[in-house]
Amino acid sequence: MSLADRTFAAVIFDNDGTLVDSTGSVERSWVRWAVEHGVNPYTLVGHHGMPAAAIIASVAPHLDAAAALRRIEQLEVDDVEGVIALPGVHDALEALAHAPVAVATSATRDLATVRLAAARIAIDEVVTFDDVERGKPHPDPFLLAAQRLGVDPADCLVCEDAPSGITAARAAGCAVLAVTTTSEAGALSDADLVVSSLVDVTFAVVDGRVRVSPR
């Protein structure tokens, strides 16, 4: 069944790469962090959408994990230059104004807060890495977001941009709409629908249910 043939109780958005364009900040911060710690920056490729702690464990297991995490978080929190809402985001959120909506991100609470604020996005329910024992690709962030919204995860539509996020959403039992802002379409093939950006879909709330359809 296509997404156009379904309705949903709620929508859960990933943040970076889905709602917010933070690419410049991410790249600047992680490259600086890597140089400071003697890590080859090229080893960072392919880790988008994963919690920072998991990235550090992957590329620099020899480092003091807690200290390394504090440093990268501080670098990212301090750099919001160029952080803006991605195309179609504000229109989508306006259309969903009367529907349950949440964010489920691999970022920490502080980082998610500053990036959403920089992009002028206001969503009350935000699940961060600080709220779960296991981040993406585990389903925990989406399960908690659905719980907080008071809906069944199987009745949620997740909007994602990263393979790890799609894996997490699938494990939670959610339907998935993917955008190709940070990954090629082939890497997102497990999603129900893949589009270039949220400009390419229309959200509507009909009789309290969310509908999404390609433009």
Domain spans, the chain: 3-19+86-214, 23-78
CB atoms within 10 A of CB 62: 9
Nearest-CA neighbor of 84 among 6, 170, 20, 18?
Answer: 20
Rounded CA separation 100/48 (Å): 27
Q: Is 112 in contact with 135 (CB distance < 8 Å)?
A: no
Catalytic residue at 14? Answer: yes
Candidates 16, 21, 161, 192; catalytic one: 16
Torsion (CA) 199, 203, 177, 114 in degrees, nearest 10: 70
Q: Is 7 in contact with 206 (CB distance < 8 Å)?
A: yes
pLDDT digits (tens, 9 = 90+) for 113-151: 999 999 999 999 999 999 999 999 999 999 999 999 999
Q: Which sign, positive or negative, has the C-alpha torsion 148, 6, 1, 159?
A: negative
Nearest-CA neighbor of 209 among 13, 12, 10?
Answer: 10
Rounded CA separation 19/34 (Å): 26
Residue pLDDT tens, the chain, 215 long: 689 899 999 999 999 999 999 989 989 999 999 999 999 988 988 787 778 888 999 999 999 989 998 999 999 999 999 999 999 999 999 999 999 999 999 999 999 999 999 999 999 999 999 999 999 999 999 999 999 999 999 999 999 999 999 999 999 999 999 999 999 999 999 999 999 999 999 999 999 999 999 98
Scored b (16 or more CB within 10 A) or e, 116-125 reads bebbebeeee
Catalytic residue at 124? Answer: no
Candidates 14, 140, 155, 192; catalytic one: 14
Three-state SS at 203: strand
Three-state SS at 52: helix
Burial class of residue 63, CB neighbours in 10 A (0-12, 13-18, 19+): middle
Fold of 3-19+86-214: Rossmann fold (3.40.50)
